[in-house]
Every structure is written in C-alpha cells, then in structure tokens.
Structure 1
Amino acid sequence: RYDDVLPVENPDHRISLGEGFTPLLSARRLGAKVGLPRLFVKDESGNPTGSFKARGLALAVSMAKALGATAVCLPSAGNAGSALGAYAARGGLKAHVFVPRDVPRVFLMETEAYGAEVVTVKGLISDAGKACAERAKQEGWYECATLKEPYRVEGKKTMGYELAEQMGWKLPDAILYPTGGGTGLIGMWKAFREMEVMGFVGPARPRMYAVQAEGCAPIVKAFAEGLEEAPLWENAQTLAHGLRVPKALGDFLILRALRESHGAAVAVSDAEIVQGVKDASATEGLFMAPEGGAAVAALRKLKSSGHLSPDDTVVVFNTGTGYKYVETLAPLW
C-alpha cells in the first residue's frame, strides 16, 4: 500500500502474505473503564502469523532476496521467528531461528512447520542473539536481527502511515506502545517525520509512551535517570516474552523519540499485564497478547500520573494475538 516510501523496487522481489492495514478500533467500553473516552486500539493480531512482526519481516526477507541471499536468520522470543519462517517459506529462502529454551512450544511448532531450523539456546534473547550472530558469520546467512539491518524498521513504519490514514491524517495525542526491541516505536517516529516532509501531516506529534514489564524495564530506568542509552537489565523476567529484552540495540533511538515527543516510559507488573488482557477481552472482545495487555495496564498508571487526560485521543497498540500465550498466561489467570 505504501510502496513509494518502501525500499523494495522490483515487484518480483516483493514477498507478501497480505500483511498490514489492521483495524483501528474505537474502544469506548474499555475507555469508560479507565476514564479515557477517546481511546482506540490498533489491533495487530490479524497480521499473518498473528503479530506485528509480519510487517518488518515481510520487508526484511524481501530485501534479503533482492540482495541475493538464500538463507536468513534471527534471534526471537517467539513471534519474530514465526514471521521469519513464514516469509522465508513464501520466498523460497531457508530460515534459521535462535530462541531461548523457555519460549512457548507453540512458537517452536509453528516456526518448524514453515521449514525453518529452530535452535534453542540457554538464557535470554540476548544469548540467542549472540549465538545467531556467530552462526550467521560462519555460514554467510543474512541476519535479520533487530536493527542489524535497516528494513524491519521500514516495514514497521507502515503502522505510522496506517494510523495517520485511518485517523484522517490527524495524529492522536498519545500512543502507548509495548516496547522490547522497540523497532515499532522507532519506525512510527520515522514515519511521522516522513509524512510531515511530504505534507500529509503537520509538525504536531503524538506523545510516545514506551510500556515495559517491571521485571525487564531498561528503557524505563534509563528514561527516569536521564540517560541516553539503557544499561543491561540483569536477571530479566516477565511472562511477556516480547518485552523480555535486557538490552535493546536501538535504546538511544527509543529514548530520543520519547523525549522529543514529551512522552515517557512506564513499567507494569505481570499481574497487571494479565489483568490488562482480561480487561480488553471483557470490554472489547479483544484477546490480546501479554504485550498488548501491558499497554492496556499502563493506561491507568499514565492517567493517574497526569500524563493522559480524558480529552486526549489515545491509541494503544496490541502487537499480537493472545491465542499463542494461553499456557503463559494460565499461572496468573
């Protein structure tokens, strides 16, 4: 839909499974519950493989093929691996996915079903990333890890273009985004700048709010302490696997966007994440991934702290479907 601002020039190199243009839903019942009547949910769960990761990997795998690669790889907490496997299969490339050992089995089964090699690694996604980078160097694979190449951000920025189009080219007052590696937030911030240059929107920007888990909140800590980069978060633990990123490669870009937009970073507990999933399900019929539940949980905190007001138009991003996380959510359900 936004080919003119995307890097794939040859249509023959475009690999797609119909990703994008997900619904922007008015969330009046949820908004009434949290005191934010102008609340919307950008629901990414309908993307191929069930998450926003499809956007970035569609572009990354397309460009890998355009550049002559035959094998692609990345570390993943689940959804990125599934998306890489699907788009690699679609494009006739071999995928290699490195995951922590405790990634839910559903992701391993799905990724393997696409014909990808899945390598389990002891530790966190940062450890999987090291193993992936080492093998990629040895084997000559095209590495699609977060911000190890520029194209996943290009795919993610389409969320910003869609949001503007769906809102009549008027951006919201605030965006809440569950933040692990942060490419979605970085990509949207890039999209807003591009759209202003092209005359689609004015200079006003949404306040960007990064939402993290209390058990892994390096961006929250760095923002509060006025740091330009986030220190490594030790002993990261949260049921929201997509938020369990102890050190984001693009942390400085995330922090810059938060400050330039006069936004903030906020952390929520695992119990609050589960309650956020329940609240969205019961009020709007949206069974969100834990990451989306985290963003819902952050609404109350940001409103009570004065960051959000009832007059604000607020958009919460749900980055994936909750159906893959039933076993993960069960202990606190």
Structure 2
Amino acid sequence: MDYSYISHLYCPKCLQTYEKDAIHHLCDCGAPLLVEYNLDRLAKEWRPADLERRKPDLWRYHELLPVQSEEHVTTMGEGMTPLLSMPTLGEDMELPNLLMKDEGIIPTGAFKARGAAVGVSKAKELGVEALAMPTNGNAGAAWALYAARAHISSTIVMPVDAPSITRNECALSGANLFLVNGLISDAGKMVAEAVKKQGLYDVSTLKEPYRIEGKKTMGLEIAEQLNWKLPDVILYPTGGGVGLIGIYKALQELQALGWLEGQKMPRLVAVQAEGCAPIVEAWKQGKTESVFWENSQTQAFGINVPKAIGDFLILHALYETDGCAIAVEEDEILKELKQVAKLEGSFVCPEGAAAFLAARRLREQNWIKQEESVVVLNTGAGIKYPDTAEVDVPVLEPGESLPLASSFVK
C-alpha cells in the first residue's frame, strides 16, 4: 500500500486540476484548492480494521492525508482527542446525548495544531524554507511552533488584541512576529504584500490546500470514536470555517470508501457570535457567499473573521447537510463557559462556549430534538484565554478560618 493515496488538486468552483507534486495556492479563478485522493483504489485496499494497531494520532489516517513520504511527517503527537459525554450539561439543556470533541488537550492547546501538522509536513515535502500567515492567535502559534520543529522559517502577523499567550508562543518559537492595530483582514493584506515581494510560502487560511486536510481528521476521529455511526448534529465555531469544511470533506470521503453504510450526513451547524456573523446572514438569505462584516468584534476572538475566503464551501456544507448557521448572544458566551466548567469540569475556550450556547438555543427552538445525538467542538483550551473570565476571590490573612463550604454552594 502507498503511504498516501493523494491523486491531484482541484478547484471546487471551476474544476481545474493541478498536479500534486508542485507548490500551489489558490486556483487561477481565485478559489481555494482541495485535495483529491484515489478513493476507488483505496476502498479496495484499506479497511477500518487496519487502524486497530496504529498510534492514537491523526497520522493513523495517513492514506487519506497528502504527505507522500513518512520521512517528511512533522508531529508532536497531535490527534485522537477525547469525545466526551456531557451528561450533566446535557440534562441542563435537555440533550441527554450531548458529546464534546475536546481539542483543548492537543499540542499547542488548540485544534489549529492539526492543520499546522499536516500543512507544515507537506510544505517540508515540497521544499518550502519560509512561510507566512495572518492569524487571530492560535493558528499562528501552531504554525510557528510546527515550523520551528521542521526547521522552516515563519513570519506571523496578528491583531494587537490577540491573546497574549499566542503572541508569546510565536515569539519564543523564533518566528518573525508582527502585531497590527486592526483585524485579521488587515493582517492578511500585510502578509499578501510580503508574500508577493519576498516570495514567502503563503499559508493563510485556505490559500494553501493542506491545512484543511489536517482539520478534516476531526471528522475521521468522530466517526471512528462512534464506531462508524454518525451523530445527528455537529456544531462548529466558525471563523474561517476550515474545520467545518474539513469535517464535511472527511465524511464524504468515508462515504466513498463505503465505511458509513449509506448513513445520512450529520446536520452541520456553523456557530458565530452576534458581533461577527457573516455566514449566518448569508445562510439566512440563502446566498452562496457572504458579505464582509463591518466593525466586527467578539470576545470569542478565534471566530472574529469578517469575510472567510472559503465562505462558499462553508455554506455549501450547510445546505447539503440540511444544517444551519446561528449567531449567539455576546453577553451569554461567558455565562455558558462558566456553566460548562461548573457542571462538567471542562474549562473550554470562548469559541467552544459559543458552540455549546448554540446547542442550547437550537434545542430551545426544537431544531435539535431531545433524542438526537449531538457533538459540540471545543476548539481550544480555556487556559489559553487567561483574561476572558473575571473572578472575585476572597483573600484571607494567615491564621483566619475558612468559611463553611456550604456558603459557597449556589
């Protein structure tokens, strides 16, 4: 068997194809490129049982990933994150079959490590020596750290308001780090100019084809962890939307391999915040592309993306799965974050809290039925956002007695 069954790249808009062994970014028509695999041949040579003795990381699916030689794999053990039952929170929401895919324990503390691992590995295979990207924080940290491990130079530009921890991760990795007094869209313009002038390898969201391949492993894992039985609903906090696009792509590929026995696709939900909801507005209007969201702002910083280059792919996935897009209330996100921690002991990121809040709202609207199985993506660790939640903690002097524990119970 081949290590990878990659066939070629193609444009989902104009269907133009590109060879697999050269550096590519966007299609000539301006759309992102996707990776195609020899699925017919792979279906004859690969079975779920082949996974049983493999390492519990995303490279267990290497046949369905684009890196053709194992020697180029750059890894920190990423992947196979827990799919946890959330019974107490589920009872609170009237969703007894509520599950969380917890990406907070992955290397670099966020699901961005998946895209970085595969993207950097493929860049190494293609002979890339220097890469550049704009970021809202976690993606830049992941790519900077994985690039350092692969001995590839990185240039990272992030908004000045990005979480300070991600800034430190980039700086300590040796990246060329710059802050911009603006949004990720402003950072993107700076990176595009640098790429053009300096010949850097552009790894901006969906401007290289391989980040999505790393992100799609979330979908492969969910299917495997549920013994190849798909959930009814998957909720995903959506900024650039690469993970949602990737999950949809993964499930389509599993269907083509015959591993899902004709099961219906889960209804995919794109979760955004009211302060930045371009996908939601486009979905409400039945459009295939979104409009730039002016003056976007949300405490769920990772989904503060006013215009996603892959918006048409996000919306296509929603329409094809009978899914939806929902914007949650900004002032309720932190309340939900605290509720998840209090009821389940999980310190999720603000984006993950937004996704849980969306599940709550969709259950209240009966869009999600009580008996349905629901997977919520928590895309990062809450500890990466130390300034998100403000707490008021009593200070005692030495020798003072602790108040009765019952006084803390609410």
Show the counterpart of 2:332: 272
Matched with 1:85 is 144
What letter matches 1:259 in structure 2?
Y
| Matched residue, 1:58 | 117
Alpha-carbon RMSD across the aligned residues, in angstroms, is 1.3
The correspondence of residues 242-253 of structure 1 with structure 2, limited to 5 A, is 242-253=302-313
The percent of aligned pairs where both chains have the same amino acid is: 52
The amino acid across from 2:362 in the alignment is L
8 Å CA contact 2:147–2:153 kept in 1: the answer is: yes
Q: Which runs of 5 or more residues in structure 2 are unaligned?
A: 1-59, 393-410
The answer on 1:45 being equivalent to 2:104 is yes
252, 266, 274: which one aligns with 1:206: 266
SS at match of 1:316: strand
Assess if the C-alpha contact under 8 Å between 1:289 and 1:322 holds in 2. yes
Conserved 8 A contact 1:61-1:72: no
Q: What secondary structure is seen at the aligned counterpart in 2 of 1:107?
A: helix
Post-superposition CA distance 1:253-272 (Å, at most 9, x none): 11111111111111112221
Q: Which runs of 5+ in 1 are unaligned?
A: none
Q: CA deviation at 1:294?
A: 0.2
Counterpart selection for 2:279 from 205, 219, 225: 219
Counterpart AA for 2:172: A
Structure 2 SS opposite 1:147: coil
Q: Residues 1-333 of structure 1 correspond to what in structure 2 (within 5 A)? A: 1-201=60-260, 202-330=262-390
Q: Distance in 2 between matches of 1:110 and 1:269?
A: 30
Note the C-alpha offset of 1:331.
Answer: 9.1
2:81 touches 2:105 (CA, 8 Å); kept in 1? yes
Question: 1:11-62: per-residue Cα shift (whole Å, max 9, x none)?
Answer: 1111001100000001101100110000000000011100000000111111
Q: 3-state DSSP class of the match of 2:264?
A: coil
Count of aligned positions: 333
Aligned equivalents of 2:314 and 2:361: distance in 1? Answer: 20
SS in 2 for 1:181: coil
CA distance in 1, matches of 2:305, 2:186: 10
The code of the aligned residue for 1:318 comes to: N
- TM-aligned CA deviation for residue 203 of structure 1: 4.0
Q: Please report how far the alpha carbon of residue 278 of structure 1 lies from its aligned counterpart in structure 2 after TM superposition.
A: 0.8
Question: Normalising by structure 1, what TM-score?
Answer: 0.98
2:144–2:170 Cα contact (<8 Å) kept: yes
Give the whole-Å Cα distance in 1 for the aligned partners of 2:154 and 2:106: 20
**Equivalent-residue separation in structure 1 for 2:133 and 2:326 (angstroms):** 28
Displacement, 1:324?
1.4
